[in-house]
Homo-oligomer: A and B are copies of this chain.
Amino acid sequence: MEKKYSVAVVGCTGLVGKTMLDVLYERKFPINELILYSMRGGKCDTPFGEVEALSLTQTNIYRHPCDFALFAVESDVSIRFAQIFSTMGAVVIDNSSAWRMDNNVPLVIPEVNPSSAFMHGGIIANPNCTTAQILTAVCPIHRAFGIKRMIVSTYQSVSGAGKAALDDLKSGGTQALGIRIADNMIPKIDKYVDGGYTAEELKIVNETHKILSRDIKVNATCVRVPVSHCHGATVHLELNQPATLNKVGECLIDAPSVKLLDAPTPLDIVGCDGVLVGRLRRDGESENGFCMWVVADNLRKGAAANAVQIMELLI
């Protein structure tokens, strides 16, 4: 008989938490007990039926041991509670940025560095949404030819900023982001950290170094666009070795979870787990230069699907 697991979803009412429940259901993860946590508790509609969510307290965590805890909460909540779950024997897969750069926590994209997942000490980090989709696409190119430099510009959807931001997109409000996003673009995501770069931009740099290679020179500009779901990104690569357009295309065609198309849009991938790549072409003016467009559902491959894929690896 197939082994089944008790799975907790922490932050089950947020956009990512809800999507985690959808993905667990769709991918038929073998669950024998589903435990939901939200800040305030209360009934929660899920694809598995209505479930009573527990409030996130140490006592509840002790009373309800689980095999896996999928975290879809802010960093500060993750810092307070993740280790309590792992002490109780659960493997925590955390979607916040709290643990990503911790040397003792693997940062995992199953298509890219699956073996890292097994070196965990109770917590595994899910990468930033944009990092996940870009590295899923470019990893096979890196393995074949080596990426020397990567220049990224993102086109990030509003769902990446949460439900209140999606409300602002509909209403024209400014509540969640401070600036109107409807019919507008905001070329600054998260706070400035260093050298004029935002936290969101440096996540792409640092997470690429941790997951793929410290030798890749990465530059990113992150822009919020008035699209509800799916992030796009233009990616300009300089490779270490000469490569033909055909060979680079073959890397993408063979890449797991990736589809190479002509000019894919957010509406081509919304609600799906994969990564679409398009507009692949040479930059004849750069040495071994190539450019492409990468689009994925930020709540799926950028968050929930990647987390459930990590659980699938481990069982």
Residues in A lying within 8 Å of B, measured CB to CB: 149, 151, 153, 155, 179-180, 183-188, 195-197, 217-219, 221, 223, 225-229, 232, 234, 236, 245, 262-267, 278-286, 289, 291, 293, 295
The residue of chain B having its C-beta at the shortest distance from the C-beta of A266 within the complex is B184
Task: Report the separation of the CA atoms of residues A289 and B153 in the bound assembly, to the nearest whole angstrom.
Answer: 15
A149, A180, A196 interface centre (most CB from chain B within 10 Å): A196
**A234:B196 contact, CB within 8 angstroms:** no
Looking at the assembled complex, report how far the CB atom of A159 sits from the nearest CB atom of chain B, in whole angstroms.
11
Task: Report the separation of the CA atoms of residues A239 and B278 in the bound assembly, to the nearest whole angstrom.
Answer: 29
The residue of chain B having its C-beta at the shortest distance from the C-beta of A228 within the complex is B183
**B187:A282 contact, CB within 8 angstroms:** no
Task: List 10 additional A-B contacts (Cβ < 8 Å) besides A151-B151, A183-B228, A187-B232.
Answer: A155-B185, A155-B225, A179-B267, A183-B227, A183-B229, A185-B232, A187-B264, A187-B278, A187-B293, A221-B279
Task: Report the separation of the CA atoms of residues A2 and B86 in the bound assembly, to the nearest whole angstrom.
Answer: 82
Listed by A's residue number, 26 A-B pairs whose Cβ atoms lie within 8 Å are A153-B153, A155-B155, A183-B227, A184-B227, A184-B266, A185-B227, A185-B232, A185-B266, A185-B295, A187-B265, A187-B293, A187-B295, A188-B278, A195-B281, A195-B282, A197-B281, A217-B285, A219-B289, A219-B291, A221-B234, A221-B293, A223-B232, A223-B293, A225-B225, A226-B227, A236-B236
Task: Choose from B183, B245, B262 the contact partner of A188 (Cβ within 8 Å).
Answer: B262
* B residues in contact with A196, CB < 8 Å: 245, 279-282
Known: A149-B285, A196-B281. A219 touches B236 (CB 8 A): yes
What 9 A-B pairs are tightest by C-beta distance, nearest first? Answer: A196-B281, A153-B153, A217-B285, A188-B263, A153-B234, A187-B293, A221-B234, A219-B283, A184-B267
**A180:B221 contact, CB within 8 angstroms:** no
**A151:B236 contact, CB within 8 angstroms:** yes
**B153:A263 contact, CB within 8 angstroms:** no
Task: Choose from B219, B265, B282 the contact partner of A179 (Cβ within 8 Å).
Answer: B265
Task: Report the separation of the CA atoms of residues A272 and B59 in the bound assembly, to the nearest whole angstrom.
Answer: 59
Looking at the assembled complex, report how far the CB atom of A195 sits from the nearest CB atom of chain B, in whole angstroms.
6
The residue of chain B having its C-beta at the shortest distance from the C-beta of A233 within the complex is B153
**A226:B223 contact, CB within 8 angstroms:** no
